[in-house]
Amino acid sequence: MFYEMRTYTIQIGKMPTYLKHFEENGLPVISRYATLVGWWYTEIGELNKVVQFWAYESLDDRIRKRAALYQDPSWLEGFVPKAFPMLEKMESKLLIAADFSPIR
């Protein structure tokens, strides 16, 4: 199993709007292509961060599913135009669980 950790920096003051937009418009679409493991936002420390973990069967699975997501009109027209202007930075890391990890 492969896990992707996506970290976003949201513009100051936009977190409530981003959270609502993602829940209502982003999550229903992206959930067709990836399995959500966890979704958090910061309250202490470096603020205005969203951290998401998504699960994929393999790297090839991720590539196929992300390509399909980027073709989905619901994503491209319903989520991206409002969400992306609220972002300052995006980061993606692919993680492989160690043999002893509770989440594999």
Per residue in 44-74, pLDDT (tens digit) is: 999 999 999 999 999 999 999 999 999 999 9
Whether the per-residue pLDDT at 10 is higher than 90: the answer is: yes
pTM exceeding the 0.75 threshold for the entire prediction: yes
1, 104, 3, 5: which is closest to 52 by C-alpha? 5
Percent of the chain with pLDDT over 90: 94
Average pLDDT, the chain: 96
Provide the CATH number for the domain formed by 2-96 in this structure.
3.30.70.100
| Distance, CA of 27 to chain centre | 9
Specify the amino acid at residue 9. Answer: T
For the stretch 31-48, pLDDT in tens is 999 999 999 999 999 999
Domain boundaries, the chain: 2-96
